[in-house]
Structure 1
Amino acid sequence: MGKSGGIAKFLGCCALAGILVAGVLAPVAMGVGMLSNQVSDAVDGISASLAASEQPLVSTITDRDGGPIALIYDQYRLPVTFDEISPAMKAAIVSIEDRRFYSEGGVDVQGMVRAALHDSSGGSTQGGSTITQQYVKNYLINVVDRDNEAAQDADRADTLARKLREAKIAVQLGEAESKDDILTGYLNVVEFNGNIYGIGAAARAYFNTTPDKLNVQQAAMLAGMVNNPNTYNPYTHPQQTLLRRNLVIDTMVTNRVLDAKDAEAVKATPLGVLPNGPDIPSSSCLGAAPDAGFFCQYAVTYLEQAGISLDQLAAGGYTVRTTMDPGVSQAVKNAVDANVPPAQDGVANTFAVIRPGQNAHDVLAMVANRSFGTDVRAGQTTTNIVANPSNVFGSGSSFKIFTSAAAMEAGKAGLNTPLPNPGGQCFTQPGANQYTPAYCIQNDGTSYPNPISLANGLATSPNVAFVNLETQVGMPAVLDMARRLGLRNTLNTNEIGGEPVTDPNSSHSKDPQYNEPQSQYFQNKLSFTLGDSPVSPLEMANVSATLMSGGVWCPPNPIMSVTDRYGKPVPVRQQPCEQVVPQGLAHTLVVGLSQDTKTGTSAASAKAAGWNHADIGKTGTTNTSESVAFVGGVDDYAVSSMVFADGPHPQEICPGTPVHLGDCGAGAFGGTVAAPPYYHAFSQILGNRPDIPLPPPDPAYLNAR
């Protein structure tokens, strides 16, 4: 149940309840009269909070098919109805906590008077609380004041004022709710040690069962715990817990809900709790499966940016259905693990898959050879290396996509345009003065033609031709194109992949590498087209998705739907899709990227993998092979695969089985190391289905204008 029992229903009866409690306590009125104002003020003050407060519930993150991938919660609670609790559990809790529960009126008159007389005489305070009163107390501690330690201390204070407040509210609750509902509410809100709240979670955590199946000995142990969950913890204090359990069984006999002979047999049994428990699921994305952790974390971050905070998720009982495709995710996870083992020292292989579309770009998979976790020795990381600009070395020549698109838009080049392409050339940097050194580069090898067509250049990736083209188009246009096509978050980070430094007291506050976003830092640096800057693997996959969607950019979306604890849809704010380049330009550039796996830089590995699909691709390799990339797509899948050094001592990445760090001369290339996981995964995903043909080029973008 959402709002446990009927906490809200009993409000508004304060006057009647006050008269009733005053009558009950008439014998001690003279001794406690000074408390009357304090009690009245306290009850009035908490009534609104009780009415507005809902029990924290577990939120569930699922894949697109509804399969759970993670739980998000502050309190592990699985609420149940009265009929979903075994008779043994109901009998045990009533027997040990409040045997007159079904005959009293919210407060135990005898117990309350006895405690009040004793306490007002100056002795130590005594009990007398009914289950109804305990329900109120636990609701205050575990729900209303759960984030306020000082208020929780007041809720626990062993004072007559606090007990009178509970009594007054308990009377109201007893008038408004049935006994069965009150008992159910109590069993759903009470703590069973640590982060376990409510009988549903307790049955699962201690016995791997459900509350309707709890037997006498299990029920008695759990009923005994509520008095002091720490003292009666079966794992840390098993003997005390056993004695307490058996005491509960004895009270069940006294209360005539259990035969004495049966009780002796039950008392002879061990506690029977799960070994190495309690078994509590992870409360965050750290508990997700290896192929789902980064996706889960991205979904949570995405929701936070949309206005649904982590605190809301951790208490709201939401069901978040993501766009993750479990089949695609597992296939690419298997592929990257085969390429670079999860614990491989210093080498990460990220892989993102997005479904292109005119109305949405749904993320289908976000995986890496690493998994999202805290065990560094197992290769885990708590950084979302798929979503964040975590590839600090860049994705190499895949950035030539941006220069090509900007040149085509400006009419500086089309696919057929011949581009000057000498073996080496020095360029004057934009905004240079007499002290600015020239930017000199060379092509990797001597087999490139000069001139070379833009289409052939995209397939074979000469450096000189594209830097030359970048100078003609201008850095502002190239950077703007990169932003439009997909590098929204990437270009907002600095040149080391973090937030630009704004603190004037920082030693980096005057260093452009740290204090400027990449969108500003690279305005005068021609190296941008060679991809030597930090980049998000997910956003590079979305660049492909934008081109494959006819030039429509949409945010990489991980959310299909969100529903609240009552099953009602919750709207999720999202940036609107944008037509960022003309459809004809996007289609033509897609055609220009269609030769990489046929005759270009990844053709040899494609052939070795038996790959023969109509697709697009662009590889990238940084200057010293600390990062290599393949960005592309096939059918209705846009992808990026990046292999990069991620340890404290980065080195050249070397091909092999497995891929590793080393000093291997030529080093790895995007086509030889980053592309193979793509072939392996999508050979399985596509199977024998017919290829979706690529769009025809637009003649307006085949030649310079």
Structure 2
Amino acid sequence: MRKTDGLFKLLGLCLLAGVLVAGIMFPVVGAAGVVSNQASETVDKTSSDLADIPPPLVTTITDAGGKPIATLYKQYRIPVRPDQINPALKWALLSAEDKAFYEHHGVNWGRTLRAAVSNTAGGDTQGASTITQQYVKNYLINVVYRGDKNGQAKAQEQTLSRKLKEARIAINLETKLSKDQILAGYLNIVEFSRQIYGVGAAAHAYFNTTPENLTVPQAALLAGIVNNPIVFDPWNHPDKATKRRNLVLDRMVSNQKLAKADADKFKAEPLGVVPDTPQKPASNCTGAGTENGFFCQYVQDYLLKAGMSEDQLYTGGYTVKTTLDEKANHEAKVSAEQQVNKTQKNVANTLSLIRPGKDRHEVVALAANRDYGIDADQGQTTYALPSGVFNTGGAGSSYKIFTTAAVLNQHIAGIYSNIPVGNSYVSHVFTGSQPHCPATGAPNTRWYCVGNAGNGYPESASLQQALATSPNTAFVALEDKLGSTGPAIDMATKLGMRETMASNQGGGPVDPKSTNPGKNQTQAQAYGPKGNYPGTGAFTLGFSPTSGLEMANVAATILSGGKWCPPTPLASVTDRDGKPVPVKEAACEQVVPEGLANTMAVGMSKDDQPGGTSAKAAADAGWNRPLVGKTGTTQNNGSATFVAGTPQMAGAAMVFRPEGGNGGLCYGGVGNVYTCGTGNMFGGKTPAQTWFGAMTNIMKDQPIVGLPPEDPAYTN
């Protein structure tokens, strides 16, 4: 070593000693002379952050009865109180990390000076942080700077200035909290690896126990792990974990907190952790399981749309009590899966159920034949199948509901009015591109021509009969009388298809920057009237992407006397302290006159009766209740729908190709549905069978309630 090197190192040690002496005097003389006023402000700000920024906690999702179904978190943490920390854990930790914890005032200056001299002199790097200082550092890393790599790096950089700031915060903390509060705070914050934070979560995840019931060797293992959670992970590195646990036991002996004989006995014991991996819940909606996961996903999406950030939701420690009826959801799942196998490629069968009401429309069940999860080979998916706008094939003739409501609203016809039917119809209002339509006088256009799915329709029928038998010709003719698609599209939006009508032609969000007309405008804009153009005449035949949940809410709105409410999955939301959290939800609206809605209900009440499109499915299920219902099937039988409800429960069942593609769906009997070239699927088959299969069991103990009477203003 050169003489100059030794001289500089000696000067550095002298300077360091002076700074540390000033630090030692800090509790007596205060902060003056230690750091600048600016540094003091930084310390005060950081101290404030420790008090004002709460640690991330687990958000719990429950069913309607308060039973937990899922947990959402970024840090798995179960807070513990000081009185929940047993002596074994306390003395294991203090023996390993800070024997003088109850004697110092936040900083062990003698230990700090020895470590600083050794480190500065080039000897072995030594730690000197007290539990209080480690609490400060871990709070900064795991809470204040969570997700901020630069902030986390600064919170643990090996510099004198950082150490002094940490010391000052620790001393300040000791004037505000008791020793037991600081110890509990540290044990609630520190990381135990694998998203496990705090001893409450660690005791459960490692040993399936609680902090109060930790044994001495269990406590010693946890106390030792916090020094380096990755290196001492007992599943990945059991030998290192064992060695570290035994070292903590030895330190407990030297600290006179454990007899040597007991320590030797404990050293011979296996680690005793749960097998394979830590026992902790899933950190997202996959934890809700294959049945309830879709509902959990809707809850999450609903809260995010209501203004809560994902970070808030996953760290806020909320309790979200939902409207999920697990019995109803189970019946919906069983019925959906009975009709379509969960592993059937590119076939989704879904059922959404909502409880009607004039104050709330509570979502009761969201189910699919597919399981919720991440294993695609097992037919699992995390798409929000029942609630999202994923049925790109459309709802088919179920959209005739909107044309009918618009016609009633304008008093063009009533439910008992006789309307023309026939097997074909040529529209002189809407244009189309079918080659069999005769050319018109307008350049490059043709009249819109439409036929029915089958023959044998009468020349005319009442509007009520037409809703039950669903001739296409009759409803395109009614659309003609409206003059454009505008009134029907407006009615669709009012009755419940709000996100659907606001999505683009592919079912996704509108992109104003796109030059593609299929992406840069809403469905309402794309299919509605533009200037003198009357709109897309096929709108009433339901060819556009659709949300099954919103179709269920249409039935709920009709059964609620024309009162639309947002389909809500929330019963209540409370924060970590049990205080109610307001969630911004859309207000209910009277979207059509009550008489119109009641008359629509009567108009839709014959679908399950002889001659109706769902009559066979209803009879096979033994259905004997009044209902409103409307089936729908799209072009080439690529998707099908049954939207229906009773005064107590409304719902929509849909079968479709979630991955798209050309062709149809083939029905080979219950449980035998598959994609094919030319389909034979109809709304009265799989969708109606799914709806009746679930609802017959769900409603069997409920009283039979009749539909409301029609209003003469909308009958003829």
Report TM bin, short chain. over 0.9
Q: Does residue 589 of the first structure (1) align with residue 594 of the second (2)?
A: no
Residue 657 of structure 2: aligned partner? 645
Shift of the alpha carbon at 1:312?
0.8
Contact map agreement 2:670 2:686 (CA 8 A) in 1 = no
2:636 to 624, 632, 641: 624
> Greater CA deviation, 475-484 or 205-214?
205-214
- Letter aligned with residue 154 of structure 2: A
Partner Cα separation in structure 2 for residue 174 and residue 343 of structure 1: 60
Residue 668 of structure 1: aligned partner? 681
Shift of the alpha carbon at 1:667?
0.8
Structure 2 unaligned regions, length at least 5: 1-17, 433-441, 529-534
Q: Does residue 472 of the first structure (1) align with residue 472 of the second (2)?
A: no
CA deviation vs aligned residue, 1:315-347 (integer Å, no higher than 9, x gap): 111111111111111111111111112211111
Residue 11 of structure 2: aligned partner? none
Residue 549 of structure 2: aligned partner? 538
1:679 to 674, 692, 695: 692
Alignment of 1:188-227 (within 5 A): 188-227=188-227
CA deviation vs aligned residue, 1:578-614 (integer Å, no higher than 9, x gap): 1111111100110111111112001011111211111
Alignment of 1:8-157 (within 5 A): 22=22, 24=24, 40=40, 42-119=42-119, 121=121, 126-157=126-157
Partner Cα separation in structure 1 for residue 197 and residue 374 of structure 2: 26
Q: What secondary structure, in the 3-state scheme, does the structure 1 residue paired with 2:457 have?
A: coil
Shift of the alpha carbon at 1:430?
3.7
Contact map agreement 1:414 1:454 (CA 8 A) in 2 = yes
1:487 to 492, 497, 502: 497
CA deviation vs aligned residue, 1:422-445 (integer Å, no higher than 9, x gap): 211222454784312222211122
C-alpha change, 1:68 and 1:21, in structure 2 (3 Å) is farther
Partner Cα separation in structure 2 for residue 387 and residue 555 of structure 1: 12
Contact map agreement 2:23 2:34 (CA 8 A) in 1 = no
Residue 576 of structure 2: aligned partner? 565
Residue 376 of structure 2: aligned partner? 376
Shift of the alpha carbon at 1:477?
0.5
Contact map agreement 2:20 2:109 (CA 8 A) in 1 = no
Contact map agreement 2:356 2:647 (CA 8 A) in 1 = no
Residue 516 of structure 1: aligned partner? 521
Shift of the alpha carbon at 1:564?
0.7
Q: Does residue 454 of the first structure (1) align with residue 433 of the second (2)?
A: no
Residue 398 of structure 2: aligned partner? 398
Partner Cα separation in structure 2 for residue 131 and residue 47 of structure 1: 16
> Greater CA deviation, 135-144 or 647-656?
647-656
Alignment of 1:159-558 (within 5 A): 159-430=159-430, 433-473=442-482, 474-504=484-514, 509=515, 511-523=516-528, 524-558=535-569
Partner Cα separation in structure 2 for residue 269 and residue 680 of structure 1: 56
Contact map agreement 1:25 1:116 (CA 8 A) in 2 = no
> Greater CA deviation, 481-490 or 438-447?
438-447
- Letter aligned with residue 448 of structure 1: Y
Shift of the alpha carbon at 1:103?
1.9
- Letter aligned with residue 216 of structure 1: V
Shift of the alpha carbon at 1:501?
3.1
C-alpha change, 1:431 and 1:672, in structure 2 (3 Å) is closer
CA deviation vs aligned residue, 1:403-429 (integer Å, no higher than 9, x gap): 000000001111111111121122245
- Letter aligned with residue 248 of structure 1: V
- Letter aligned with residue 140 of structure 2: L
Partner Cα separation in structure 1 for residue 693 and residue 397 of structure 2: 23
Contact map agreement 1:345 1:647 (CA 8 A) in 2 = no
Q: Does residue 699 of the first structure (1) align with residue 712 of the second (2)?
A: yes
C-alpha change, 1:119 and 1:666, in structure 2 (3 Å) is closer
Partner Cα separation in structure 1 for residue 391 and residue 336 of structure 2: 16
C-alpha change, 1:359 and 1:447, in structure 2 (3 Å) is same
Contact map agreement 1:617 1:633 (CA 8 A) in 2 = yes
Structure 1 unaligned regions, length at least 5: 1-17
Q: What secondary structure, in the 3-state scheme, does the structure 1 residue paired with 2:642 have?
A: strand
Contact map agreement 1:346 1:649 (CA 8 A) in 2 = no
Partner Cα separation in structure 2 for residue 228 and residue 687 of structure 1: 58
C-alpha change, 1:382 and 1:666, in structure 2 (3 Å) is closer
> Greater CA deviation, 302-311 or 61-70?
302-311
CA deviation vs aligned residue, 1:493-528 (integer Å, no higher than 9, x gap): 111111223224xxxx1x432322110111211101
Contact map agreement 1:62 1:321 (CA 8 A) in 2 = yes
- Letter aligned with residue 407 of structure 2: A
CA deviation vs aligned residue, 1:111-131 (integer Å, no higher than 9, x gap): 022123334556675321111
2:617 to 602, 605, 608: 605
Same amino acid, percent of matched pairs: 49
- Letter aligned with residue 481 of structure 1: M
Shift of the alpha carbon at 1:146?
0.8
CA deviation vs aligned residue, 1:267-323 (integer Å, no higher than 9, x gap): 111111111211222111132122221211211221122222111111111111111
Note the aligned Cα RMSD (angstroms): 2.1
Partner Cα separation in structure 2 for residue 55 and residue 665 of structure 1: 58
> Greater CA deviation, 418-427 or 214-223?
418-427
CA deviation vs aligned residue, 1:611-661 (integer Å, no higher than 9, x gap): 111111100111211101100112310100001112354542122231322
The alignment of Structure 1 onto Structure 2 pairs a total of residues equal to 677
C-alpha change, 1:530 and 1:23, in structure 2 (3 Å) is closer
Contact map agreement 2:403 2:540 (CA 8 A) in 1 = yes
Q: TM-score, normalised by structure 2?
A: 0.91
Shift of the alpha carbon at 1:701?
0.7
Partner Cα separation in structure 2 for residue 488 and residue 286 of structure 1: 28
